[in-house]
Structure 1
Amino acid sequence: MNTEFRKTLPGTRLDYFDTRAAVDAITPGAYDTLPYTARVLAENLVRRCDPATLNASLSQLIERKRDLDFPWFPARVVCHDILGQTALVDLAGLRDAIAQQGGDPAQVNPVVPTQLIVDHSLAVECGGYDPEAFEKNRAIEDRRNEDRFHFIEWTKKAFKNVDVIPPGNGIMHQINLEKMSPVIQVRDGVAFPDTCVGTDSHTPHVDSLGVIAIGVGGLEAESVMLGRASWMRLPEIVGVELTGKLQPGITATDMVLALTEFLRKQKVVGAWLEFYGEGAAALTLGDRATISNMAPEYGATAAMFYIDQQTIDYLKLTGREDQQVQLVEHYAKVNGLWADSLKGAQYERNLSFDLSSVVRNMAGPSNPHARVATSDLASKGIAGQWDEVPGQMPDGAVIIAAITSCTNTSNPRNVIAAGLLARNANKLGLTRKPWVKSSLAPGSKTVALYLDEAGLTDELEQLGFGVVAFACTTCNGMSGALDPVIQQEIIDRDLYATAVLSGNRNFDGRIHPYAKQAFLASPPLVVAYAIAGTIRFDIEKDVLGPDAQGNEIRLKDIWPTDEEIDAVVKASVKPEQFRQVYIPMFAIHEDTGPKVEPLYDWRPQSTYIRRPPYWEGALAGARPLKGMRPLAVLPDNITTDHLSPSNAIMLDSAAGEYLAKMGLPEVDFNSYATHRGDHLTAQRATFANPKLFNEMVIEDGKVKQGSLTRLEPEGQVMRMWEAIETYMDRKQPLIIIAGADYGQGSSRDWAAKGVRLAGVEAIAAEGFERIHRTNLVGMGVLPLEFMPGTNRKTLQIDGSETYDVIGERTPRATLTLVITRKNRERVEVPVTCRLDTAEEVSIYEAGGVLQRFAQDFLESATA
């Protein structure tokens, strides 16, 4: 720890690091020009780096040099149970590998505090119209996930620095926002800004508090857990000025969907954004959190807001201790992190967005940045005519209407607005359509308390929006089974069925296997669509129904006013509610149970938890990058849902057939996500999305949709998994060719693990999303980027070729991709090696993060 700049925080007994002095010692006056994010990164360096590294890295930060390696040291790791549990399965496997080579497995532990929240395991089998839905869904969750929860219980006792929040308590991001992040940490008498990485792309949720928190894959989280710096190229820090204010009746959801469209067009992928200006200053913390949460949807790595009075008010509202609230304000003002101190901040790029331009919005179909104003639904071909046939579902039937996701349920205004709209609808006699599976799944138990306080719980329940869970549900594809009669009608009539949810993702095939497309909307709009019953309904113009006097009721007649929403929020959301929920949740309980062995006793028949194979066979060997055949040739915007879906497993899928063979009843197949601790199940999810378009599979002159590929050199079209098995038997090295923005979406390490287990050694694409590229490196898969103007189409790639990679793999080096066509023609194509740092080169050459750590651990133990 650097002591030169260590001082005592005035008026306290705590020390802090004078970041301004450290920066200005290198370049006088530079601190005042640094953006907020750079100031926090600078403090992180001053606190953690030796003098030589400190001076070099601070100089890099001051000069904004983005072509050099840059270290930062997250203070903590937060995980949900899907990626977090998978990471701990990897660490348990690492213990086995260490033990087999004579090391002490008990020494393999996270050295950074790690919080695991079990929040992604519950499926909405019982909708919100069942008064016992919560209890029933929780019971099903426990039964289905017994293997997983047994392992998680072992990790609590076997690993140091791991704490677990059990199922049924909320979503990790909302808990992080409302409780876990102190904004300013105190350890060993030293105060410093909180920082964290999380195993979910929506970890930037707490950036709204002024906390640098970024989403990473499980592999990168494992590296941080094990004490390594998080190395990166210094990101572009973009200033986003928010001007104006929202018009009456416009929600934070409308705002973020408009911002998502705007920022995608501004190409902020990988950038760290800072929102400022009069518009930003006026936003509540809940509104800011909605913006920060959706950073991955517009492609940014971080979405920061400054610490200001809104931050302080929110910390008080959520029941933080007075002493902690005072520390946050005092530290921020002393160390240049208070909003008023940032007036001279200089950005490499400045954007401006007028909040007054936002109208009522939805997003869809298929992409969260595909914004459509509700007033334009008809002109966009979404709303339109449909036949009302008694006893039949209409075209565009909304089969799922879900108030879900941390994006919106962490914002009291959004939830209260939904409750008030439901109350107004009930008064006028409106009802939910019978084919709509409706649900309310808040990310925090406090939501239920303030809805009770406001008298809105019964109003929502009357329309079918009772609480079904405190967990990530529909947004994560855990929407549960449909009524069999409804499902059969969809199949028999080949019905265009849809979902409307207050989530952040609506990728094809994600929300439900029988929802052909999904739309994102604010919580009150979700309730309105449950009443309308079809996406063909023009939500601004069409009649929702008659009142008792026969008067036509439209959306404007039941939409609550801003004044009414604000009054209910002020009267009903209280600090004691947050204390009531979180004090017992985070109370320290001494573990008096029996000790556990340092090595996990793997259950051989488990389809959830299995010893990982990453230190065995071909995975532990070299990757020659020669004679590779394409597994897939893919278009732009391939998401991690295409690469490794998270939704329900169907019987006729490769994973479903495997689970049935293992004796699991179809009713308990669960989701792909929950089985990621067992590689034998999870690898069968590779490219299993039925909405995949692999350009190697052509039928009648068009790319055929489905989990399909063409086996080469035979040229035979078959299901993706059968081809993977064939290639694995042949020990055939593989490559994937893709378009732009490859790997959008969730921070899903299995999107990289699956292709690596299939034998993929390299991926050549026009561009990569940050987290997925890092995951590929962490699994020892080489990311290659085509030069501008070169792509699969200009190269006339059809999948019949073989590929070699030539050149020395150094950070961002130019390598040669050698393409040998079926007619023996040879083409040499320059590509950029997307190993971006020396650390990434080291990880790749070792075979991946886990192999690298095992090598280093054994070397240090021998030394």
Structure 2
Amino acid sequence: MNTEFRKTLPGTRLDYFDTRAAVDAITPGAYDTLPYTARVLAENLVRRCDPATLNASLSQLIERKRDLDFPWFPARVVCHDILGQTALVDLAGLRDAIAQQGGDPAQVNPVVPTQLIVDHSLAVECGGYDPEAFEKNRAIEDRRNEDRFHFIEWTKKAFKNVDVIPPGNGIMHQINLEKMSPVIQVRDGVAFPDTCVGTDSHTPHVDSLGVIAIGVGGLEAESVMLGRASWMRLPEIVGVELTGKLQPGITATDMVLALTEFLRKQKVVGAWLEFYGEGAAALTLGDRATISNMAPEYGATAAMFYIDQQTIDYLKLTGREDQQVQLVEHYAKVNGLWADSLNGAQYERNLCFDLSSVVRNMAGPSNPHARVATSDLASKGIAGQWDEVPGQMPDGAVIIAAITSCTNTSNPRNVIAAGLLARNANKLGLTRKPWVKSSLAPGSKTVALYLDEAGLTDELEQLGFGVVAFACTTCNGMSGALDPVIQQEIIDRDLYATAVLSGNRNFDGRIHPYAKQAFLASPPLVVAYAIAGTIRFDIEKDVLGLDAQGNEIRLKDIWPTDEEIDAVVKASVKPEQFRQVYIPMFAIHEDTGPKVEPLYDWRPQSTYIRRPPYWEGALAGARPLKGMRPLAVLPDNITTDHLSPSNAIMLDSAAGEYLAKMGLPEVDFNSYATHRGDHLTAQRATFANPKLFNEMVIEDGKVKQGSLTRLEPEGQVMRMWEAIETYMDRKQPLIIIAGADYGQGSSRDWAAKGVRLAGVEAIAAEGFERIHRTNLVGMGVLPLEFMPGTNRKTLHIDGSETYDVIGERTPRATLTLVITRKNGERVEVPVTCRLDTAEEVSIYEAGGVLQRFAQDFLESATA
């Protein structure tokens, strides 16, 4: 820790680091030109780096040089139970590997404070029209996940610096926003900005507080947990000026869907955004959080807002201690992080978005950035005529309507708006359609308290939106089973069925296997669609029903005014509600139970938790990058849901067949996501999405949809898993060829782990989403990027070829991809090695993050 720039914070007994002095010592006056994000990164360097690294890195930051490695030391790690548990399974496996080499396994511990929140494992088996839905769903969750929860409980006792929030308490990001982030940390008498990485791409939720928080894969999180810097290329910092203000009746959801479309078009993938301007200053913290949460949907790594009075008001509203609130304001003003101090900030690129241009929006049918105005539903072919037959579901039937996700339930205005719309609908006698499985799953227990305070709980319950959980649920694909009668009708009639949810993702196949498409909407719109019952309904124009006098009721007749919403929020959302929820949740409880062994006692019959194989056999060896055959040739916009789905496991899938052989009843198959601690189950999810289009599989001149590939050299089309098994038996090295934006979506490790276990050594694509590319490197898979103008189509790739990679693997080097066609023709294609830093080269050459850990640990122990 440096002492040269250490000073005492005026009016306190705390020290801080004078970042302005450190920056201006290198380039006088430079600090005032730095964006907010750069100032926080600079403070991080001043606090943690040795003088030589500090000077080099600060110079790089000031001059925006991206051709060098840049160290970042996050203050903490936050995990949800899927990737967080998987990361801890890896660390438990690492302990076994260390013990086998004669090391002390008890010394393998997170160095950085790690908080794990169990929020991804509850399925909505009981909908919100059942008054006991919450208790029933929790009981099912505990029964299905006993193996997982047993392991998680062991980690809490076995590892140092691990804190666990048990199931039933809320969503990681909303808890982070409402409680866990202090905005300004204090450790050992030193105050500094809070920073964190999280094992979920929506970790930027707390960027709205002025906290640098980014989503990473579990592999990168493991690296940070064990005390390593998060090495990166210096990001592009883009300023996004928000002007104007939202029109009456427009929600934060409408705003963020419009912004997501706009920013995707502006190519901000991998950038760190800072929102500023009069429009940004006027947004509530809840509205800001909605924008920050959706960062991965528009491709950005971070979505920052400055610390200002809105931040302070929110900290007070959410029950933070007065002393902490005062520290945040005082520190921000002294150290140049208060909004007023950033008028001179200079951005490499500036964008402008007019909030007054936003209309009521939805997104769909399969991408969060595919915005459609509700007024344009008919012209876009979404709304239209349908046959209303008594006793039958209509075309486009909404089988799932879910108010879910931290994106929206952390914003009181959105939830209150849904409650008020429900109240208005109930007064006029409107009801939910009987085939709609409806649910309300807030990300925090505080939501239930302020709905009770507002008298809106009963109103929502009357329309089927009772609280079913405090967890991710439908947004994560955990929408649960349908009524068997409804499911059978969908099958028998081959019905086009849909879902409408207030979530952040609607990728193909994610929400429910029988929901052919899904649409994102604000919470009040979700309620409206539960009443309408079909996506074919023109939500702005069509008649929802008749009142007692026979008058037609349309959406405008039940939509609450902004004044109503604001008045209820002001009267009903109170600091004591947050204290009531969070003080006991985060109370320190002394562990008086028996101590646990440092090595986990793996359960051999578990399909949830299994000792990982990454230190064994071929996975620990070299990758020759020669004679590779394509496992798949894929189009643009491949998501991690295509690569490793998270939704419910079906009996006729490879994973379902395996679970059945293991003796698990179909009703307890659970989701793919919950089984990611067991590689034998999880690897069967690789490319298991039924919505996959693999261009190697052609039928009647078109690419056939499904989890399929073509086994080579035989040319035989078969299910993806059978081909993977065959290639594994042959020890055949594999490659994947893909289009642009490969790996969009959640920061799930298994999108990388699955292909590595299948034998994939390299992936050649036109471009990669940031988190997935990092995960590939962490698993020892080489990402290769085609040069502009070159792609699978210009190269006439059909999947019958073999591939070699030639060249020295250095950061962003130009390598040669040698393609040998079936007829013997040889083509040499220059590609960019997407090992972006020297640290990534080192990780790749070691075989991956986990192998690197073991090597470094044993070397340091020997030393």
Q: TM exceeds 0.5?
A: yes
> Structure 1: which 5+ residue stretches go unaligned?
none
Measure, in 1, the Cα distance between the counterparts of 2:477 and 2:45. 39
Matched, 1:511 2:479: no
Which digits, 9 at most, give the CA deviation of each residue in 1:198-229, with x for residues without a partner? Answer: 00000000000000000000000000001000
Measure, in 2, the Cα distance between the counterparts of 1:666 and 1:631. 29
Measure, in 2, the Cα distance between the counterparts of 1:437 and 1:218. 33
Which digits, 9 at most, give the CA deviation of each residue in 1:548-574, with x for residues without a partner? Answer: 000000000000000000000000000
Which digits, 9 at most, give the CA deviation of each residue in 1:473-521, with x for residues without a partner? Answer: 0000000000000000000000000000000000000000000000000
Measure, in 1, the Cα distance between the counterparts of 2:565 and 2:124. 28
Measure, in 1, the Cα distance between the counterparts of 2:740 and 2:572. 47
Q: 1:66 deviation in Å?
A: 1.4
Measure, in 1, the Cα distance between the counterparts of 2:125 and 2:729. 39
Measure, in 1, the Cα distance between the counterparts of 2:227 and 2:31. 29
Which residue does the alignment assign to 2:353? 353
Measure, in 2, the Cα distance between the counterparts of 1:724 and 1:607. 20
Which digits, 9 at most, give the CA deviation of each residue in 1:375-420, with x for residues without a partner? Answer: 0000000000000000000000000000000000000000000000
Helix, strand or coil for the counterpart of 1:717? strand
Measure, in 2, the Cα distance between the counterparts of 1:372 and 1:639. 21
Measure, in 2, the Cα distance between the counterparts of 1:749 and 1:767. 19
Q: How many correspondences in the alignment?
A: 863
Q: 1:723 deviation in Å?
A: 0.1
Q: 1:356 deviation in Å?
A: 0.1
Measure, in 1, the Cα distance between the counterparts of 2:307 and 2:104. 44
Q: 1:266 deviation in Å?
A: 0.1
Helix, strand or coil for the counterpart of 1:506? coil
Which residue does the alignment assign to 1:693? 693
Measure, in 2, the Cα distance between the counterparts of 1:395 and 1:39. 54
Q: 1:699 deviation in Å?
A: 0.1
Q: 1:255 deviation in Å?
A: 0.0
Q: 1:104 deviation in Å?
A: 0.2
Matched, 1:800 2:800: yes
Which residue does the alignment assign to 2:11? 11
- TM-score for the superposition, normalised by structure 1: 1.00
Helix, strand or coil for the counterpart of 1:461? helix
Measure, in 1, the Cα distance between the counterparts of 2:303 and 2:122. 29
Measure, in 2, the Cα distance between the counterparts of 1:503 and 1:387. 29
Measure, in 1, the Cα distance between the counterparts of 2:190 and 2:472. 35
Measure, in 2, the Cα distance between the counterparts of 1:333 and 1:235. 25
Which digits, 9 at most, give the CA deviation of each residue in 1:510-551, with x for residues without a partner? Answer: 000000000000000000000000000000000000000000
Measure, in 1, the Cα distance between the counterparts of 2:437 and 2:754. 33
Measure, in 2, the Cα distance between the counterparts of 1:626 and 1:270. 31
Which residue does the alignment assign to 1:143? 143
Which residue does the alignment assign to 1:328? 328
Which residue does the alignment assign to 1:839? 839
Which digits, 9 at most, give the CA deviation of each residue in 1:792-838, with x for residues without a partner? Answer: 00000000000000000000000000000000000000000000000
Q: 1:130 deviation in Å?
A: 0.2
Measure, in 2, the Cα distance between the counterparts of 1:66 and 1:634. 30
Measure, in 2, the Cα distance between the counterparts of 1:13 and 1:158. 35
Which digits, 9 at most, give the CA deviation of each residue in 1:294-336, with x for residues without a partner? Answer: 0000000000000000000000000000000000000000000
Helix, strand or coil for the counterpart of 2:609? coil
Q: 1:694 deviation in Å?
A: 0.1
Which digits, 9 at most, give the CA deviation of each residue in 1:136-174, with x for residues without a partner? Answer: 000000000000000000000000000000000000000
Q: 1:454 deviation in Å?
A: 0.0
Which residue does the alignment assign to 1:766? 766
Which digits, 9 at most, give the CA deviation of each residue in 1:691-743, with x for residues without a partner? Answer: 00000000000000000000000000000000000000000000000000000
Measure, in 2, the Cα distance between the counterparts of 1:798 and 1:829. 16
Q: 1:257 deviation in Å?
A: 0.1
Measure, in 2, the Cα distance between the counterparts of 1:648 and 1:290. 27
Measure, in 1, the Cα distance between the counterparts of 2:2 and 2:626. 47
- TM-score for the superposition, normalised by structure 2: 1.00
Which residue does the alignment assign to 1:677? 677
Measure, in 2, the Cα distance between the counterparts of 1:856 and 1:578. 43
Helix, strand or coil for the counterpart of 2:82? helix
Q: 1:582 deviation in Å?
A: 0.0
Measure, in 2, the Cα distance between the counterparts of 1:505 and 1:285. 22
Measure, in 2, the Cα distance between the counterparts of 1:649 and 1:75. 37
Which digits, 9 at most, give the CA deviation of each residue in 1:749-777, with x for residues without a partner? Answer: 00000000000000000000000000000
Q: 1:67 deviation in Å?
A: 1.7
Aligned-pair Cα RMSD in Å: 0.2
Helix, strand or coil for the counterpart of 1:137? helix
Measure, in 2, the Cα distance between the counterparts of 1:451 and 1:283. 22
Which digits, 9 at most, give the CA deviation of each residue in 1:437-487, with x for residues without a partner? Answer: 000000000000000000000000000000000000000000000000000
Helix, strand or coil for the counterpart of 1:173? helix
Which digits, 9 at most, give the CA deviation of each residue in 1:626-678, with x for residues without a partner? Answer: 00000000000000000000000000000000000000000000000000000
Which residue does the alignment assign to 2:62? 62
Measure, in 2, the Cα distance between the counterparts of 1:199 and 1:626. 33
Which digits, 9 at most, give the CA deviation of each residue in 1:338-363, with x for residues without a partner? Answer: 00000000000000000000000000
Helix, strand or coil for the counterpart of 1:784? strand
Helix, strand or coil for the counterpart of 1:799? coil
Measure, in 2, the Cα distance between the counterparts of 1:349 and 1:3. 35
Measure, in 1, the Cα distance between the counterparts of 2:686 and 2:160. 33
Measure, in 1, the Cα distance between the counterparts of 2:308 and 2:592. 43
Matches for 1:224-263 after TM superposition, within 5 Å? 224-263=224-263
Measure, in 2, the Cα distance between the counterparts of 1:450 and 1:493. 43
Measure, in 2, the Cα distance between the counterparts of 1:391 and 1:831. 58
Measure, in 2, the Cα distance between the counterparts of 1:647 and 1:860. 42
Q: Which runs of 4+ in 1 moved over 4 A?
A: none
Q: 1:91 deviation in Å?
A: 0.1
Measure, in 2, the Cα distance between the counterparts of 1:296 and 1:68. 25
Measure, in 1, the Cα distance between the counterparts of 2:670 and 2:233. 39
Helix, strand or coil for the counterpart of 1:359? coil
Measure, in 2, the Cα distance between the counterparts of 1:536 and 1:71. 51
Helix, strand or coil for the counterpart of 1:351? strand
Measure, in 1, the Cα distance between the counterparts of 2:742 and 2:60. 29
Measure, in 2, the Cα distance between the counterparts of 1:67 and 1:348. 16
Q: 1:855 deviation in Å?
A: 0.2
Measure, in 2, the Cα distance between the counterparts of 1:621 and 1:503. 41
Measure, in 2, the Cα distance between the counterparts of 1:700 and 1:544. 43
Measure, in 2, the Cα distance between the counterparts of 1:862 and 1:558. 71
Helix, strand or coil for the counterpart of 1:518? strand
Measure, in 1, the Cα distance between the counterparts of 2:637 and 2:748. 16
Measure, in 1, the Cα distance between the counterparts of 2:135 and 2:66. 51
Measure, in 2, the Cα distance between the counterparts of 1:309 and 1:823. 68
Q: 1:594 deviation in Å?
A: 0.2
Matches for 1:98-177 after TM superposition, within 5 Å? 98-177=98-177
Helix, strand or coil for the counterpart of 1:591? coil
Helix, strand or coil for the counterpart of 1:808? coil
Helix, strand or coil for the counterpart of 1:320? coil
Measure, in 2, the Cα distance between the counterparts of 1:66 and 1:280. 29
Measure, in 1, the Cα distance between the counterparts of 2:63 and 2:279. 29
Measure, in 2, the Cα distance between the counterparts of 1:197 and 1:630. 34
Which residue does the alignment assign to 2:86? 86
Which digits, 9 at most, give the CA deviation of each residue in 1:281-306, with x for residues without a partner? Answer: 00000000000000000000000000
Helix, strand or coil for the counterpart of 2:219? helix
Measure, in 1, the Cα distance between the counterparts of 2:342 and 2:736. 45
Matched, 1:812 2:812: yes
Q: 1:68 deviation in Å?
A: 1.1
